[in-house]
Structure 1
């Protein structure tokens, strides 16, 4: 995603360590986020994304490490610094019995937005969330996508410089996903806000300017989605059918292709995949194959290559 960003870090995270008893949830997590950038933390459940989010938003302390905003260390008691951040939690935080406008009004009071600026800012944010015509309706009448856009609008009421979002599109259908991302990109363009988000969705990660891949509390790599995917050469063929171990054995013995077993099926990476599919179908035992698909590498494939695990593996699984 092309966007010009400043080179000096807006947010710096250096060597975060968090432990819960004997378990290390974060093991030296470090990354920089530049002003105006959309930076993503990609990983499965249990990778450390939400723990990092909780440290950044002051909900959790770290055993060691430091977080800096524009070069100034953020301490749990530094309310003035934390007011420069907007936060969107994964769990819904809107009051369903209040109207959209009332929810924004409560947030404006909480953040001490000057009374003369409150209603104009609320009008602006309702327009941003595409909810101007529903401002006086109760939140419980909104769709999931509408609620998510209102959550984002509420986090912006005090004009923060940095917006931190935990799984911003979790549970949304494709149409709501697209609409939410349209609003996030418009927000960055209009207000120059820096965005830091956590996600386990590869299609969401691909929309970020840069990504840190997290697994089991550690940063595996940091780069742009384009460079990550370019590091995986070839096309990805996924074979679905009976006896996947037998399918993998045929691929190895007949074609010297090493296959990976995933939840989706048996996966091989080859050059010129469209030429391979007829050969594979013909070579595999009749009736064993139910479907074959071909695709270019995604961020899910990148994560699998670097970690040996899928984005949907449970914590501690291999």
Structure 2
């Protein structure tokens, strides 16, 4: 089956090409509250671009301005070469939008949801009948075409929402928290569908506060907090620049974590302890655990045990985007 697309996958390889989306000093205020604070970014055609941050960071507001459903307070923006404020209908015709909450028509069948949505774009029924079959196959819902939406699982509803958004063959697909509320298996199925769209050349723009989702799906992303961009780059680059290779998670008990952190910092930074052996950087104290940032976390754990510090639990893992956000803002992505 040929996947829905309106552009070529190689387009993003040309840095001189016109961007799919460009923003310069983009600002949105609601009275005295600044939701988006003079941010600038550029998204290439065929790129998978993420906005990473906690709830209230300004991600959804930015998406609404891209989608031409919210006016900017100041700054400049172009979507597919158009100004969303001056050419809103033309911009919306080029977009597919996946809202944070599914807004399917529960009274219609799965197939009817796609056909009726296509009629809003003025697409002919003959085209839509064939397109619905194609999209149901893409979403792995061909066997449920006659089923009512209310009978679908959460993962199936999410895939149908994406299929429906592709009915007008958009250049750009906007996804606001695409896997919220889904179980791990449903999330991975959805990721696979999005990978296929990216390979077909569709530009993906997604908001998420799931670090693993951003690492899996995004070529590049911006980390936002309080409406401002804290960092920008590929997931691998951000982790390399703002964190250590590994993280050691330790639990000593909520009443002992802070005091123990001071002792461990002295232990791991002391020259006799061989700080070069573990690549120690710093310790973050969270309410329920300590995060020890070191390039060689296993070696750090051995030193901690050798000094007779005995945590209740210990875990060695690689650094993630959540560690990047914690370093940049002092709080977790899910705060």
Q: Structure 1: any 5+ residue segments left out of the alignment?
A: 314-318
**1:229–1:302 Cα contact (<8 Å) kept:** yes
* Pair 185,285 (structure 1): closer, same or farther in 2 beyond 3 Å: closer
1:242-257 matches, cutoff 5 A: 242=253, 243-256=256-269
Q: Secondary structure at the match of 2:239?
A: helix
**CA distance in structure 2 between the partners assigned to 1:274 and 1:201 by the alignment:** 26
Match of 2:292 in 1: 268
The CA deviation string for residues 229-250 of structure 1, in whole angstroms up to 9 with x for no partner, is: 2222332111112111122122
Match of 1:301 in 2: 323
The correspondence for 2:56, drawn from 34, 46, 55, is: 46
Q: Secondary structure at the match of 1:13?
A: strand
User: How many residues get paired?
Assistant: 308
Larger deviation: 234-243 or 197-206?
234-243
TM-score by length of 1: 0.92
Match of 2:167 in 1: 157
**CA distance in structure 2 between the partners assigned to 1:56 and 1:120 by the alignment:** 30
Match of 1:201 in 2: 210
The CA deviation string for residues 73-99 of structure 1, in whole angstroms up to 9 with x for no partner, is: 222653022200010000110012211
Q: Offset of 1:14 from its aligned partner? A: 1.7
RMSD after superposition? 1.6
The correspondence for 2:100, drawn from 60, 76, 90, is: 90
Match of 1:316 in 2: none
Match of 1:283 in 2: 307
* Pair 111,305 (structure 1): closer, same or farther in 2 beyond 3 Å: same
Match of 2:128 in 1: 118
1:108-187 matches, cutoff 5 A: 108-187=118-197
Q: Offset of 1:275 from its aligned partner? A: 1.7
Q: Offset of 1:285 from its aligned partner? A: 4.6
**CA distance in structure 2 between the partners assigned to 1:284 and 1:95 by the alignment:** 61
**CA distance in structure 1 between the partners assigned to 2:249 and 2:316 by the alignment:** 7
Q: Offset of 1:284 from its aligned partner? A: 4.8
Larger deviation: 82-91 or 58-67?
58-67
Q: Structure 2: any 5+ residue segments left out of the alignment?
A: 1-8, 270-279
Q: Secondary structure at the match of 1:248?
A: helix
**CA distance in structure 2 between the partners assigned to 1:170 and 1:263 by the alignment:** 25
**CA distance in structure 2 between the partners assigned to 1:181 and 1:116 by the alignment:** 30
**CA distance in structure 1 between the partners assigned to 2:64 and 2:134 by the alignment:** 29
The correspondence for 1:23, drawn from 30, 33, 36, is: 33
**CA distance in structure 1 between the partners assigned to 2:233 and 2:213 by the alignment:** 15
- Asked if 1:240 is matched to 2:251, the reply is yes
Q: Offset of 1:255 from its aligned partner? A: 2.8
The CA deviation string for residues 132-185 of structure 1, in whole angstroms up to 9 with x for no partner, is: 000000111111111100000011001010000100011111111110010011
**1:273–1:294 Cα contact (<8 Å) kept:** yes
